[in-house]
Amino acid sequence: MQRVPASLLLAGLIVFLVITFGKLSGHTSLIREIQDTLHTVVFTVFTYFALQLMHRRAGDSNTTSANYLLVAGLCLLTGVAAEAAQWLTGRGFGLLDIVRDMAGIVLGAGFHALHARTTQGSRLIPRRHLRRTLAVALSVILCAAIYPLASLSWHYQGRNAAFPVIMDVQADWATAFLEPNAARLTPAPKTCGPAFLALQLLPADYPGIDIVDPSPDWRGYRYLGIELHSANPAPVNLTLRVHDRAHNNEFSDRFNYTLTVTPGTHQYRIALEDISNAPTGRKLDLASIAGVKLFSGKHPHPQKLCVGVIRLEQ
C-alpha cells in the first residue's frame, strides 16, 4: 500500500473546509436539500480523483484493493471530521450527512473501478458481467442519492404552477409544504366537501399546521382567503400567523389574527394591508413571506375541523 501523497492530503483539507464552512445562500427547503445532495457530489468527485492520483502513482503495481480502502478511509475520515467540526461550532452532527458522504465514496470508487485499466491496458475488472453488476448497483445508489432533491424540485414546480394558491391540501405537491404540529391530517368527511382535509387538533400546546416555504411574493394581491369547516357545536378559535424572512420570532414582529370558526363552512378574507402593517416598528415584507401557520390553544379534548384551499385574492 502506498503512502498518502501530500496533494491528496491537501485535497482532503479543502473538502473538509468546504463541508464545514460552506453554505449556500437562502433559507428554503430546496436550498437545504441541494446542500445535502452536494455532500454526495463532493465525495464522489473527491474519491474518484483521489483514486486516479493513487492509480497513477502506483506504476506497475496498479491500484490495489488496499489503496481503495486507503482512499475510502481518508474520505470517510474527512466527512466525519467535518461533521465533528460543525458540532463543535453549534451546527449539529449530521448522521445523514455521513451516509450521504459514504454514498459519494462508494460512487466515486465504483466509477473509478469501472473505467480503470492496468499499465498493460487491460481492465481492472476484467469480467463483463461483474462490470454490469457494478454499474447497476451504482445506478441504484445514484438514483437513491438524487431522489430527495428531484422529488422536492417537482413539488416546488407544482407549488409555483398553482400560484396564487398558497396551499391546496388535496394537491400532490402539498405534502412537501404542509407540516402538522400536534395534529392529524386525514381525508375529510363528505360533509366538508372534496376540496378539504380533516384536521384533528390534539390536546397539546398550539396544535395546528405549518405551511413552510409558501410562494413568497404576495405583492399585487389584496386578500388572503382561507376556507374552513367546523362540525363542532361550539366555536373554535384558530390563530392565523404570517411571518416574513426578517422575522425575529417576537410576537409583535409578525401578523397574528384570531379566526373564530363556528359550525358550517366559512370563507375568510384577510387584507394583505393588515398583514403588512402588523409588525411593530416596520412593515412585513409581502415580497418575502416565509411561513403561514394555523393553530389553536390547548384544549382538554381533540377538536376536529376541515381545512380547504388557502389562496391570494384580488
pLDDT tens track for 80-94:
999 998 888 887 788
Residue 275 phi/psi, 5° resolution?
A: -65, -45
The domain segmentation of the chain, as residue ranges, is: 6-161, 166-313
122 versus 165: the higher-pLDDT residue is 165
What per-residue confidence (pLDDT) applies to 145?
95
Categorize the per-residue pLDDT at 287 as very low, low, confident or very high, splitting at 50, 70 and 90.
very high
Separation of alpha carbons 224 and 269, rounded Å: 6
Instruction: Name which of 16-25, 102-111, 133-142 the model is least confident about.
Output: 16-25
289 versus 124: the higher-pLDDT residue is 289
What per-residue confidence (pLDDT) applies to 127?
86
- What is the number of other CB atoms lying within 10 angstroms of the CB of residue 1? 12
Judged against a pLDDT cut of 60, whether residue 66 lies above it is answered with yes
What per-residue confidence (pLDDT) applies to 126?
78
What per-residue confidence (pLDDT) applies to 94?
85
Judged against a pLDDT cut of 50, whether residue 104 lies above it is answered with yes
What per-residue confidence (pLDDT) applies to 289?
96
Judged against a pLDDT cut of 70, whether residue 260 lies above it is answered with yes
CATH superfamily of the 166-313 domain: Galactose-binding lectin (2.60.120.430)
The cell numbers describing 29, all together, are: 427547503
- Give, in order, the Cα–Cα distances in Å from 6 to each of 9, 10, 50, 54, 76: 5, 6, 11, 11, 18
